[in-house]
Amino acid sequence: MIRRILLSLVLLGLFGGAALAAGAQADPAPTAQSLVPYRVNPGDELQIFVWGDERLQRTVLVLPDGTFAFPLVGQIAAAGRLPSEIERLITAGLQPQYKGPVPQVTVSVSKATGYQFSVVGKVRSPGTFTPGRYVNALEALAMAGGPTEFAQTASIRLVRKSGGQLVVVPVRLSDALKGDANRLTTAEIPRIESGDTVVVP
């Protein structure tokens, strides 16, 4: 029963589904401005184009230290940056090589394999997941098959790396798992960051 509720909430978009159930008008589809921009993680694959210069068009892998090497520029710190920020770094690094303006630089994430998280404890399918898109704690739990019968859903915690320390973030999913999503906020079901571990006791 809990698993069916969990999957239903995720499929209905959680808050949008609750609003529809109450007879409210559905929110409009999210615009590009309302979406969370993706920041590059170690392990991501990037496609880089310098228009008009085929020598500088290549695919690179972001190393575990968050950097990658690019010709004529050197090592670039990419982790945590937006693709547009990396474009500006490459443009600035190439400027001394051109007499005029640097050709347009385009950086795109071809494989978001660096965005990974783990779900451990009393879930049906614990493991490490690479969804290729941002997810929240409820979606992460659904990917792990949902909680088992004796899971303590009121005590779920998210363990996050912050510099050289670990931060424990409480996650409140009990109401959602009972089918009540009316009072949930993004603070109670935080977005999962790369490297997070969801612990279900």
Run of H or E including 16: helix 15-21
- The pLDDT tens digits of the residues spanning 138-152 come to 999 999 999 999 999
Which positions ≥6 away from 44 have C-beta within 8 Å?
Answer: 61, 62, 78, 109, 111, 112, 113, 114, 115
Q: What is the mean pLDDT of the chain?
A: 84
User: Can you list the domains of the chain with their CATH numbers?
Assistant: 2-34+115-200 (3.10.560.10), 45-111 (3.30.1950.10)
**pLDDT band per the 50, 70, 90 thresholds, residue 197:** very high
Check whether 79 has a pLDDT greater than 90: yes
Radius of gyration of the chain (CA): 21
The model's pLDDT over 2-60, given as tens digits with 9 standing for 90+, comes to 555 454 444 344 434 333 333 334 444 444 434 789 999 999 999 999 998 889 999 99
How many residues in total does the chain contain?
201
pLDDT at residue 151, as a whole number:
93
- CA separation for the pair 10, 139 (Å, rounded): 6
- Judged on CB neighbours under 10 Å (0-12, 13-18, 19+), 19 is middle
Instruction: Name the residue with higher pLDDT: 34 or 105.
Output: 105
Ramachandran assignment for 121, one of left (phi > 0), alpha (psi -120 to 50 degrees), beta (any other): left
Give a three-class secondary structure readout of 37-81: CCCCCCCCEEEEEECCCHHHCEEEECCCCCEEEECCCEEEECCCC
